[in-house]
Amino acid sequence: MRMSDLITQEILKMLDQSADNMAEIQRNEFASLMGCVPSQINYVLDSRFTPEHGYLIESRRGGGGYIRITRIKLNRSSALMHIINSIGETIDSLTARILIENCLQSDIINQETARLLSAATSNSVMRGIPVELREYLRASILKQMLLTLI
């Protein structure tokens, strides 16, 4: 198993054990505990614990500094609106797939809806669209389809 997967599992375990869906770590201590460099902790937080994935990150620097990871629990409509607003003007294929998978894992959408969203935003659908417009179109399609679920 990759180090980033191990770090992710440990943070998720901390969140699952928390009554308030919050985990607090000190980056250097956590990196030492995990047997990695602190930048790997940053990478995992930046790539896997984002608002699009349903998490908020708060940090305080300095000697007593910490990183606080909070799992966002929203009702379905609020979660969908949060996701739609987080998409922005463009979205690449990989980010769209991750977003759809996270929605599925969070039970915001079902398997059939995930397949439809994935098909509508796939690279094969965008094949006839000029490269410079694909990510704009993908974002627009994804937002409109998610809006129909509210």
For position 11, what pLDDT does the model report? Answer: 95
pLDDT at 82: 83
Cβ count within 10 A of residue 126 = 17
68 - beta bridge partners? 24, 58
d(CA 88, CA 138): 11
- Return the pLDDT at 97: 93
Structure tokens at 26: 């000190």
pLDDT value of residue 115: 98
pLDDT at position 50, please?
84
Q: What is the DSSP string of 47-102?
A: HHSSGGGTEEEEEE-STT-EEEEEE----HHHHHHHHHHHH-S---HHHHHHHHHH
Q: Distance between CA atoms of 71 and 86, rounded to whole angstroms? A: 16
Q: Chunked in runs of 10, what are the mean pLDDT values of the chain (150 residues)?
A: 90 93 92 93 90 82 82 83 90 92 88 97 95 97 96
- Determine the pLDDT at residue 17: 94
What is the pLDDT, as a whole number, of residue 64?
Answer: 63
Cα(108)–Cα(90) distance, rounded to whole angstroms? 22
- What local confidence, expressed as pLDDT, does residue 143 receive? 97
* Predicted local confidence at residue 102, as pLDDT: 84
